[in-house]
Structure 1
Amino acid sequence: MPFGWMLLNLKVPFFFLKKKSIYMPHVQSFFFLIKKKDYPQINQTLNMSQTTGRQLANTYSLFVNRALTDRLHIDQPHKRVFHLSRSSFPGQQATGGAVWSGDISASNDVLRRQIAASLNFQLSGLPYWSEDIGGFFRPADQYTNPWYHRLLIRWFQFGAFTPIFRVHGSESHTEYWNYGPTVLKDVLLIDNLRYRLLPYLYSLAYFTAVDGYTIQRHLVLDYPDVPQVWNIADEFMFGPFILVRPVWDDINTTTVYLPRANGETWWDFWTGIEYVGDQYLYNISVPLDQISLFVKSGGILIFGPFVQWTTQLPWYVLEIRIYRGMDGYFVLYEDNGLDRLSIENNKYSTIVFQWLDDSKTLSISQRVGSFPGMITVVRQFNIVLVASNHGVGVNDTTLPDKVVFYTGSAVQVNF
């Protein structure tokens, strides 16, 4: 029987049934595979609370997610809830629910369409989308097939710039060492980049929670008055500063459009070369271990340490990269990573970084707020003014332009 409909009146019994059968005190995340088509006849005719499945249509995932969330908030009021479903509906973002795009096959065209699908989905206001990186259905010779290895690397690169970063495949050993040293080396580079950007990404999640922001953004959200971006389906913003153009075909070149609305320029993330906006870059080289990334002038990117999981190392040392050409502003958000009501109960802190381009000044605000486990020792902020071959790529910048030892008080850095 499709429990999506039963939840309308049986939310509490359903929760305790699941708690007894699959749920343990330390489980906070759920992976929902149920879908309406599993029970097509009952879905259409079952009548619960004078409402049939035919009338409810696609709202079933909203009720499933809401049922678990409501009861978990009672059962574990301080823990954060997360569930991943292959279906979604407006309002589901309030439940801690994310969506993945379903059981997809592995091909270049599917990768292309996944990029467009991710942007279309998030244009609806639902901010947490994911996919089966590499495809759910994979070729039988996936571990030795050179074509598939290229696809897997390119897909991993795209996935690193989606809100939920996850790999999955049917009857597959998806650990990347199974695909040989080249695949392992290339995906590790992008994996390290994703995890080094955790301070930036976690702050974007804060903006999403309080401002209705979306992390992965169709260009039209940031450039609504630039007609050239309206129909671009394979290029997007990751937060306010990073423009991403994944390579989805078998060649190592691509074309990128760099928009301009306020005179901004764009910095190549890998080389530090600056480009003017409102132009196409045709047939630019994109080595297999890279993805096309451009950072907007005025951008402030905050890099953490190299880690293999989110809480492996505290953020004692941060690299702050400044992309000159315009004024910039970014808020670093931090909390203990555990408390569900961190924001509501003001158990978090923020630090504002503001770049004034004319005066070449970076202002770092006083830290506002506090939370249990907050870093209270002196922190090191390595400030880098990005230039050609300086402050580029994934690794730490060996010679930062300024080093700030931050105690929580306001600091002004002059260049």
Structure 2
Amino acid sequence: MMNQVVWQSGSAWCSIRTLSGDILEVSWSPDGKPLPSSLFVLPQADGFPIYQDESTLLAGNISVHCHDEGMDFFSPGKKLLLRDDLRYFRRDDGFWRVEQRFRVSPQAALYGLGQYPGGVLDWRGHEVLLVQSNQGIAVPFLISTDGYAILWDSLALTRVSSKDDELVWETDCADGIRYYVIHGPDFDALIAAFRRLTGQAPLYPRWAYGYWQSKERYVDRDELLGTATRFRELGFPVDALIQDWKYWGDKPWSSMQWDPKVFPDPEGMIRELHDKHHLHLMTTIWPVIGEGCPAFAELKKAGVLFETEHWARGHIYDAFSAKGRSIYWKHVKSGLIDLGVDALWMDGTEPEFVSSHDPMDGVRACHAQRDTAQGSWKRVLNGYSMMTAKAVFDGQRAAESGKRVFTLSRSGFAGQQRYAAASWSGDIAATWKVLREQVAAGLNFAASGLPYWTTDIGGFFTTGYGARFPRGCADDAYRELYVRWYQFGAFCPLFRSHGTNTPREPWHFGGPGSWAYEALLAAARLRYRLMPYIYSQAWQITAHGGTLMRLLAFDFRSDPASYRIADQFMFGPALMVCPVLEPMFHEPGREAEPIPAEFLQTPDGESGLACEGFAGRDFEVRRFAKHASQINGNWAGGPPAGLPFADYSLRWEGELAIPESGEYEILLEGNDGRRLWLDGELVIDSWQNQGNSTQHLTRSFEKKSRHTLKVEYFHHSGAAALVLSWRRPGPPPKSERVPPQRKLYLPSGSRWYELASEVRHMGGQSLRVSTPISEIPVFVRGGSILPLGPEVEYDGQKPWEELDLVVYPGADARFTLYEDNGDGYQYENGEFSTIEFGWDDRRGMLSIADRAGSFPGLAAERIFRIRLAASPEVLTIPYSGQALVIALHRPKP
């Protein structure tokens, strides 16, 4: 018996090795040399033996038929899964460029490959560029509804394309081809095998599954603590505040140091958040370190900084270097973790050498650097975020801080889950189209084997990039979009609001009693009531390779009608979420646009404006005078030519020509200080250091009238931007459509209950449901046991001594309630408890097993309030850890 077979095919050598009964490793070497070890697949022990029968290899649950054209992979039932068809090797610049062609069933849907904008759910008929970018996350893992998965072993730039029955993988820089074929056939088994190959996902602290409030950004200590106070005064549920960039103030970028002028006594501030407000704090860090701080000096001395200067006046460190990771963690620890920071937000981890939404700009910038400690950037392109996440994870685990590692990273890669790093979808725009696309993006991310994902609720940009909400949270149209995005976010694995241009705290969308505020509050309260269910599913992720945000095909692979539904998903095995993804009450108004040059005129009669640039924030030293077509500047990549990187000012002057009579909205958006004069009157005066925001005013103008215009701007530090826009007169927004409804599909093979009303429906049908602004359509699968916790304002406010258990009949059901102390790694040593619940649908009996395990603080006695869905009868059952069997009466159909 053997677990590896090697043979020659032409000039190439092929190796097939079994790693388990359901995983095969296939390697093709173009020159007969052994391929180097994987950079992200963990070392694997020898697996099942291979039995050879002439040209067929029997390898666990997969059999392989070898022939002149390639290899065919079969399931245990002799169903053809896929064919290794053709491959090409071409020597290029010292590396092999490789291409592998597979033959696959043209009917099967293909999911995974990471997370990308655009809204594609099934990759059939599409091409994907696997590369990290601001809005793209590359994961070389693909799953098929035919019950198999492919893990492609490369960190290099890779193209994946699918057309008809052909699936092609192409990689720019390789030593050969190595991929893994996994047989499920269930998707949960495919994901579990992926985690065995690349690492299990540790459990996050329980508070991390609650709500986190973020925005760009809290400007000082008073604003941060004032926000905490306001949340607690209102009783709005929240567990964390996020401090975005510039907590370092005038210190170098991402120096991991607090500026005492704007955040005095950060340790005391964090202690107040913890002790008084029961809140946790996450802070941003970047892989770029600003020149002039101790971290920069130490990294430079060690020779682990890349040469390209970043727009933030710093350099990116080499996270592929063990020395670089050690130094980086040392300063994260001393400047943030030791002061009490609970979690880290790692921004720009592609890494972002240039500020661009074009993925190839980032590729070219990486390829232009010197080699990493692991060799050429071409070889390791997509692995940077994984390695910088490793720096934090290894350091914090070794430090034994008593807190579980919890990191949020803009990029991700296969294996990054083992470093407790979640991802979010980057700097997206606030549009209904983007919201719809986010559902598919999150589902494909989860189908790629990485369990934790979130989105900027409300979109990062409320203006520009197609977004048209310059009034932000004061605009009812944006409020509606935000509420629907928030409701979707409440059913993402991680629940987080973030963005620029406008405040994101719930009270800015209307006070208590207003329609938007109450809808937000209802969604947050529902998330917290579901916490026993969510935390128990998190344990399934850690212990069994589970998935929380699930394509319908995870649970209904036998129903092809569910394969390409991109606007519904399962949240754990019991809940089907159907977010509202179009406006039903307030259509967005006419789009704001930067004022074009044709409506601007310089003092000497040219189109556009006269522009002057000065060193100093108050126009101290004039550096240039030139013509500007409009005010639409983004200087993230560096200041206007001739000006210093920080502390400069700009002035524009001219006239504004009015094309049509009516009401105009004038908007001035940017960061730091800005002023606007119209006809000599100072109408916008916001002359202070500040994050990105928008000031606006409304004026009525007559057609062909002309008005003098002057704009002044100062930039202090960071990514600079200023845009002068207007919203011209246009038709009024559409009025409310009554009654608002959403069409959805109930997968076959199950009964379904509306979560809000518990009205029952049969599966296999389309349905229209009402969608008041206060509700998101959620259905519970028949054959589910749903535990609900108490109403709380933060995790741990009330222990789970009393839980509601709702049983949804229609099939047998099982549920495991998981509990531990909520933080730390004692759970790895067995300090946790589980309670198994079982529902016998035929007999109408609910069984509660003996409690297994224990931990300090476990409630020895508790109350279960148990009822059947759609039944008012509630049984109050005391439970002290011993098994119980309870008969429940069914309501009449």
Q: Deviation at 1:50?
A: 5.2
Q: Give me the whole-angstrom Cα distance separating, in 1, the residues matched to 2:496 and 2:321.
A: 29
1:33 aligns with 2:366: no
Aligned to 1:79: 403
Aligned to 1:227: 560
Aligned to 1:308: 793
Aligned to 2:619: none
Aligned to 1:142: 472
**Secondary structure, counterpart of 1:69 in structure 2:** helix
The structure 2 residue matched to 1:256, chosen from 744, 748, 759, is: 744
Aligned to 2:449: 125
1:165 aligns with 2:495: yes
The structure 1 residue matched to 2:856, chosen from 372, 377, 383, is: 372
1:205-264 CA distances to partner (integer Å, 9 max, x unpaired)?
000001111101001111112110111111100000111111110133111111124xx2
Aligned to 2:326: 12
Aligned to 1:98: 422
Q: Deviation at 1:400?
A: 4.4
Q: Give me the whole-angstrom Cα distance separating, in 2, the residues matched to 1:126 and 1:257.
A: 26
Q: Deviation at 1:25?
A: 4.8
Larger Cα-atom Rg: 2
**Secondary structure, counterpart of 1:149 in structure 2:** helix
Aligned to 1:411: 884
**Secondary structure, counterpart of 1:166 in structure 2:** strand
Aligned to 1:241: 574
1:69-124 CA distances to partner (integer Å, 9 max, x unpaired)?
00111112642000001100001111111001011110100100001100011100
Q: Give me the whole-angstrom Cα distance separating, in 2, the residues matched to 1:21 and 1:402.
A: 53
Aligned in 2, Cα 1:230/1:72: closer, same or farther, shift over 3 Å? same
1:127-179 CA distances to partner (integer Å, 9 max, x unpaired)?
00001101111222122211111111111110010000001111432111111
Q: Which of structures 1 and 2 has the larger relative contact order (alpha carbons within 8 angstroms, sep 6+)?
A: 1
Q: TM-score, normalised by structure 2?
A: 0.44
1:352-407 CA distances to partner (integer Å, 9 max, x unpaired)?
1111111111111111100011112x2110001111xx5xxxxxxxx542110111
Identity %: 38
Aligned to 2:84: none
Tell me, yes or no, if the aligned pair for 1:4 and 1:63 is still in contact at 8 Å: no
Aligned to 2:841: 357
Aligned to 1:153: 483
User: 1:193-342, aligned counterparts within 5 Å?
Assistant: 193-251=526-584, 252-261=740-749, 264-281=750-767, 283-342=768-827
Counterpart amino acid of residue 379 in structure 1: R
Q: Give me the whole-angstrom Cα distance separating, in 2, the residues matched to 1:63 and 1:50.
A: 11
Q: Deviation at 1:271?
A: 1.5
As a proportion of its length, which structure holds more strand?
Answer: 2
Aligned to 2:366: 43
Counterpart amino acid of residue 869 in structure 2: V
1:189 aligns with 2:522: yes
The structure 2 residue matched to 1:69, chosen from 388, 393, 399, is: 393
Q: Give me the whole-angstrom Cα distance separating, in 1, the residues matched to 2:508 and 2:862.
A: 39
Counterpart amino acid of residue 258 in structure 1: L
Q: Give me the whole-angstrom Cα distance separating, in 2, the residues matched to 1:135 and 1:327.
A: 40
User: 1:363-402, aligned counterparts within 5 Å?
Assistant: 363-376=847-860, 378-387=861-870, 390=871, 400-402=873-875
Tell me, yes or no, if the aligned pair for 1:7 and 1:67 is still in contact at 8 Å: no
Aligned in 2, Cα 1:28/1:4: closer, same or farther, shift over 3 Å? farther
Q: Give me the whole-angstrom Cα distance separating, in 2, the residues matched to 1:364 and 1:124.
A: 35
Q: Deviation at 1:54?
A: 2.8
Q: Deviation at 1:268?
A: 1.1
Tell me, yes or no, if the aligned pair for 1:131 and 1:166 is still in contact at 8 Å: yes
Aligned in 2, Cα 1:324/1:50: closer, same or farther, shift over 3 Å? closer
How many residues align? The count is 400
1:315-369 CA distances to partner (integer Å, 9 max, x unpaired)?
1110000101111110000000012241x21100001111111111111111110
**Secondary structure, counterpart of 1:169 in structure 2:** coil
CA RMSD across the alignment: 1.6
Aligned in 2, Cα 1:63/1:341: closer, same or farther, shift over 3 Å? farther
Q: Give me the whole-angstrom Cα distance separating, in 1, the residues matched to 2:353 and 2:434.
A: 24
**Secondary structure, counterpart of 1:405 in structure 2:** strand
Q: Give me the whole-angstrom Cα distance separating, in 2, the residues matched to 1:380 and 1:31.
A: 38
* Greater shift in the superposed pair: 81-90 or 308-317: 308-317
Q: TM-score, normalised by structure 1?
A: 0.93
**Secondary structure, counterpart of 2:474 in structure 1:** coil
Q: Give me the whole-angstrom Cα distance separating, in 2, the residues matched to 1:217 and 1:325.
A: 21
After the TM superposition, which parts of structure 1 deviate over 6 Å for at least 4 consecutive aligned residues?
A: none
Counterpart amino acid of residue 199 in structure 1: P
Counterpart amino acid of residue 37 in structure 1: E
**Secondary structure, counterpart of 2:443 in structure 1:** helix
**Secondary structure, counterpart of 2:817 in structure 1:** strand
Tell me, yes or no, if the aligned pair for 1:5 and 1:53 is still in contact at 8 Å: no
5+ residue gaps in structure 2? 1-314, 355-361, 463-468, 585-739, 889-893
Q: Give me the whole-angstrom Cα distance separating, in 2, the residues matched to 1:324 and 1:2.
A: 56
1:19-60 CA distances to partner (integer Å, 9 max, x unpaired)?
233332533310011232325576322213351323211110
**Secondary structure, counterpart of 2:839 in structure 1:** strand
Aligned to 1:395: none
Tell me, yes or no, if the aligned pair for 2:319 and 2:325 is still in contact at 8 Å: no
**Secondary structure, counterpart of 2:836 in structure 1:** strand
**Secondary structure, counterpart of 2:523 in structure 1:** helix
Tell me, yes or no, if the aligned pair for 1:8 and 1:48 is still in contact at 8 Å: no
As a proportion of its length, which structure holds more helix?
Answer: 1
**Secondary structure, counterpart of 1:143 in structure 2:** helix
